[in-house]
Chain A
Amino acid sequence: MSTYTPPLKDISFLLNDVIGLDRVSGLPGCEEVNAELAAQILEEAGKFAAGVLAPLNRSGDLEGAQWKDGVVTTPKGFKDAYRQYVEGGWSALAGPVEFGGQGLPHAIAIPVSEMLGSANMAFKLCPLLTNGAVDALATHATQDVKDKFLPRMVAGEWTGTMNLTEPQAGSDLALVRSKATPQADGTYKISGQKIFITYGEHDFTDNIVHLVLARIDGAPEGVKGISLFVVPKFHLNADGTPGARNDVKCVSIEHKLGIHGSPTCVMVYGDNGGATGYLVGEAHRGLEYMFVMMNAARLGVGLEGVSISERAYQHACVWARERLQGRPVVPMPGNPKTVAIVHHPDIKRMLLTMRAYTEAMRALIYWTASCLDVAERATDEKDKRMHQALVDLMIPIVKGWSTEAGIDVTSLGVQVHGGMGFIEETGAAQFYRDSRISTIYEGTTGIQANDLVGRKVGREAGQTMLALLVEMEKTAAALHASGDAGLRGVGAALTSGLKELKRATEWIVTMWSSTPGAVMAGAVPYLKLAGTVCGAWMMARSAEVAARQLAAGGGDADFLRAKLITARFYATHILPLATSLADTVTGGAEAVLAMEEAYF
């Protein structure tokens, strides 16, 4: 069976030595955060992930969530694991303190969430959605709605869902048709059908809190007429406990390529006159509120790219060490006739590709998470604004790049196993299948890329990206001055990558207002370019720290050497993609736009 070992060494190296927990520990509400506390939390969360969730990953995939007569049963062991998750207090980790949460920063919550996702991605989706719903309510709901729902949601006693998609409204939410009719008591009657609702129905908890987008009768057409509602599965009694059933039900669940343990529900509201819903915030501003939830959720889904890549990498390493096949190409002591495949250069190349992507993505997401902490908590307005701009820029990059890379990494994981990788029992295939959804939900890669080139780069003339480029150049300059040839090589590669990103960014800024279509034709290549180069920046920073620690004789020497090698590998095998991607962004639009619909 596939086991999972929490990568605590890399996590703490990145948090403490590369990104620096001191970035957040000085923020209001984070006074208690330090390396020791982080280590304790990560250690225990890792034990829970590896000991409770990981053993249910394969069985959950095989069994899948089941639907019968409106009732969803999660795979064996999931319900008990969820109980342990709540009892362990993990649900409340980042929740607001006033509603019983621990209020810990994203910089801690993200690594914890990474481990849960590596252990069992299908399970982790439930907490992910609940946390998103808590964010949206905590930011926008009235005090009454907050008091009714948040304490129980923060604790994990009730879970949350996000009901956006309808059959005719996928990426384009302007087409949402679900209806909300105002009632005399101030509530609304909600009716309509929602699809792709993750954990819309399950057996974990005695209530489920749905956040639903719908149009109030007579609301304007398009995105400006959509409001956000809270619709609980069970009405609340006067004492706040769940009472009678609300008019909402799960009519079926989907049969999917992956994440079989997670029920993806078709929800029907208002078959019997309308489900009671409470308006969140003001009318017609629902989409705007949903976006608050979406930023965190997109970061969370980007993180799935890291989670699933780490798991696939660990799985592939075990196999590559055990599988004896072929003679050694590189001379080895004792001249063995047959060696473990890990000794073959191409297997090493594949494992290193998996590892380099995973470490670069992990670092980039942790850094983004710490920026989000500063943006949310800093007292200095300028600091806040600057970090919010960085977060806004990084969210589509982190979401799009990490999940696309996650598919590549898990695919390599299958490849390392050879024929056995194609066999389900081996386990590598599950990671590949599970990873496939992550580039789709919470906004496809195309949606992320359009957001990046339009809202985040085009509209502000590349201001934040160009400022970030200056920051990244500083890292490259520091490496150029290094006495170590390997580090200088990493620095030189970073410099050429930065040039490519700058070239493509300037092209987008020039073209955006006149020919947005040309920019969008290269939006995904630009997103991948940005991810590839920002990832290189993180690997360069990691390499610099690793070299310094090695020279000082501190730290785990094997880990640090591997980090340096991985950074050199990234610089020579992955970062060179930047040139071709920049060429595609700046020269690839013509062929896309020239192709007429009829020719397809």
Chain B
Amino acid sequence: MGIGLTHYLILSGILFAIGLFAVITRRNAIMVLMGLELILNSANINFIAFSRFGGINLDGQVAAIFVIVLAVTEAAIALAIILNIYQNYKHIRIDEINKLKE
């Protein structure tokens, strides 16, 4: 039995779960950002796996490239936001930033 679609999907699921876990539990904003990257990459794996095994040509690969590009820009914007948060709060502990409540 060779490596099939299922394996990829399981890997992607694990990666998504790890990313989600990081997003939800990490106190540091940078770490949350890193969790987000993992989630995006899990999606990339899905795209590519479906591209390879789902019979949908290269569209999946194109989508993956788009996601990578978007991840870059997202990282840039997110880091800028985190920088601003740091300038306002002098820290980036995300669980202490609960202004949304008000």
Q: Decide if A and B are genuine partners.
A: no
